[in-house]
Amino acid sequence: MKPFYEKLSRIIVNTQYFSRWTVLVIDSLIATFATLCVFILLNFLGHSLVAADTLLYFVGISLLVSVGTFYAFGTYRGIMRHTTIQEILRLSVAAIVKSIILLGVLIALRNVLKISFPISDLFVAQLSDMVLSAALLVFMRILLIYIYQLVLTSLNKVSRRVLIYGDNSQSVALSTYISNNLHAEYKIMGFVKMQERITKLTLHGVPVFTIDTYDYFAEVIDKKDINAIVFPSQASVMAEKDGLIEFCIKSHVKVLVQPQLSEMPKDGSIQNVIREINVEDLLGREVIDINMKEVSGFLEGKRVMVTGGAGSIGSELARLISTFPIEMLIVLDNAETPLHNIQLELTDREKANKGAEFNLNSFGEHYKFVIADVRDAARIDRVFDAYRPQIVFHAAAYKHVPLMENNPCEAINVNVLGSRNVADMAVKYEVEKMVMVSTDKAVNPTNVMGCSKRLAEIYVQTLSRAIISGEVAGKTKFVTTRFGNVLGSNGSVIPRFKEQIIAGGPVTVTHKDIIRYFMTIPEACRLVLEAATMGNGYEIFVFDMGEPVKIADMARKMISLAGFRPDEDIKIEYTGLRPGEKLYEELLNSKENTIPTEHQKISVAKVREYVMSNVLADYAELKNLVLAMDKMGTVKQMKAIVPEFKSKNSIYEQLDKPEN
């Protein structure tokens, strides 16, 4: 019997919703049944309002009136097992209108139907019909909801007992979603909110725990055997990151969150709609607003190219840009598999958005995925010639500090000469604007990677000024954007820590006092788009990175979030600063080194200006040294062009000595 019940239960929850026409028929039959019951009951009580042979006419008229009324009110469009208060009200009003119309029809056809009883009795009959119809219709929906919830509860036997944070509309919506989902594997034990005054309230049939002290909250967790707290939004996470969340982490209570809309899975699977909180959520800041209308106007109808389009920043830029009404998106990268992955992702998204209207040939006309290397000037020339981009976002770069410290010639090849190739082609093919993605490590650089990005900045900024002054023929405007580390980017510290935690440790940190500025990838890319619409064409825009984060503290928090105790379950080891690495990154947006813009999160950097003829001569010498694979000579020339480049923890420190 038990297997049969479980099988039947799964059939119930997995059955598709009734068609709207089926719902219309069911509602109409219920309302008609109410009419039949009223007149049978009144006859039984001795009133004898309607003869048995006439009652069938009453039933037929009631059925026709019910179908017409419920169709007109659209009550059949709702999903019965997810009925809302608004739908119940609409249904009740429809039942009332049905009874009023039926009363009018019976009065009008009184002689035809040979109704001999007083009109007052007919009013009583229809009032009873009205009440019974509404009651039966509402009862049927409540019964369906109850059965559905009962079946879900019986199937979800192994559930995590959770509390929902807050008691606002977002919290209620999240509770409803979890409760109605077969695969949720969560049992909601109540809601929790931080409040000084303890009250005894219920919401959705479960208690609302108002917490005034963490000792009381610990009692609630123990008494209700709570496994996790679910937060309905990123904003609610930020509100409690130093309070309730910190307590939960220390108490080994899981913290879950409903992701932002951009993270939601296409299939709506609950496993992804509710996820465990991660360190990125706790490091996030208030949402940065950008002028979407201005960005849309800037990109509308344009052919847009993204170099390094398969990387962390480039791929996110491609995703964002594809949502605007552009003519064409050209995604360029030299990494085959990552480029293939972003191609599949954008194709799938276009299919999901357009459905049956999706056409692969049309997609191919608007999206181009190009294998090319920015170091190959001839190849970049052919790509620009073929697609004639009007806006270029240049994100192709080598970024790992220790690797570039050991390979300075390759750093120059990609980050400087590659950027020059893209910039020169932008001028040649009359690109309207080129936006170059740079880094905070270009500020007073202490490593090869940072200096190579500063050299790229110098070239595009000087070229832009030369165009404006008429020294170089062209119309292209060049904008550079600088920001710090991005959370979760390929090869960055957070993915590395996650791998080490999964492996059981140790988690390696270079220095106990090292700090960095962080920004999420979507946040950085949104600001890049905003900066692209600003300026006269030679500025270096820097982003507000917020407060710096101590890497050792981040490691401890990640270990705790994974359910382990730092320095006990998983050790933290300090390995020493790597070549070219410094303890503190330069502050990007101080009043001393930046000028404010109309956007409070974006400023313009004050930097040294260069002469175009000198830059060309210096870069020609730099290229010769790179071709000769002269590492020491290459770095020496870099320092000559960028005198603020002082090496740290590197073999190139010898070049900073006075005798050199």
Task: Give the integer Cα–Cα distance in Å for 166 and 195.
Answer: 10
Q: Within 10 Å of residue 481's Cβ, how many Cβ atoms?
A: 26
Please confirm, yes or no, whether 441 is among the known catalytic residues.
yes
- Rounded to the nearest 10°, the torsion over CA 87, 93, 98, 101 is -150
- For 288, the token pair is 């940065």
Cβ proximity of 558 and 499 under 8 Å = no
Cα dihedral 295, 296, 300, 305 sign: positive
Dmax over Cα atoms in the chain, in whole Å?
Answer: 123
* 3-class SS of residue 422: helix
Task: Give the integer Cα–Cα distance in Å for 86 and 73.
Answer: 12
Q: How many helices (H) and strands (E) does the chain have?
A: 25, 22
Cα dihedral 249, 251, 254, 259 sign: negative
- For 82, the token pair is 């997810």
Q: What are phi and psi of 573, to 5 degrees?
A: -115, 140
- Going by C-alpha positions, the residue among 541, 552, 559 that lies closest to residue 583 is 552
Amino acid at 89: L
Give the burial class of 182: count Cβ atoms within 10 A of its Cβ; 0-12 exposed, 13-18 middle, 19 or more buried: middle
- Output Rg (C-alpha) for the chain, integer angstroms: 34
Place of tokens 């077969």: 182
End-to-end CA distance of the chain: 89
Cβ proximity of 339 and 367 under 8 Å = no
Amino acid at 533: T
List strand residue ranges (DSSP E) for 334-404, in order: 367-371, 391-394
Q: Are strands 303-307 and 391-394 parallel, antiparallel or unpaired?
A: parallel
Which position among 368, 399, 441, 582 bears the catalytic label? 441
- Going by C-alpha positions, the residue among 37, 31, 148 that lies closest to residue 91 is 31
CA neighbours closer than 13 Å in the CB half-sphere of residue 152:
23
Task: Give the integer Cα–Cα distance in Å for 421 and 414.
Answer: 10
Measured between alpha carbons, how far is residue 461 from residues 151, 392, 478, 480 in Å?
66, 15, 7, 8
DSSP H or E segment with residue 455: helix 448-469
Task: Give the integer Cα–Cα distance in Å for 160 and 186.
Answer: 5
Cis peptide before 506 (omega within 30 of 0): yes
- For 183, the token pair is 């695969």
Task: Give the integer Cα–Cα distance in Å for 558 and 565.
Answer: 10
Q: Are strands 540-543 and 477-482 parallel, antiparallel or unpaired?
A: parallel
Task: Give the integer Cα–Cα distance in Å for 375 and 33.
Answer: 80
- Rounded to the nearest 10°, the torsion over CA 186, 190, 193, 194 is -100
- For 462, the token pair is 């000087």
Positions marked catalytic: 441
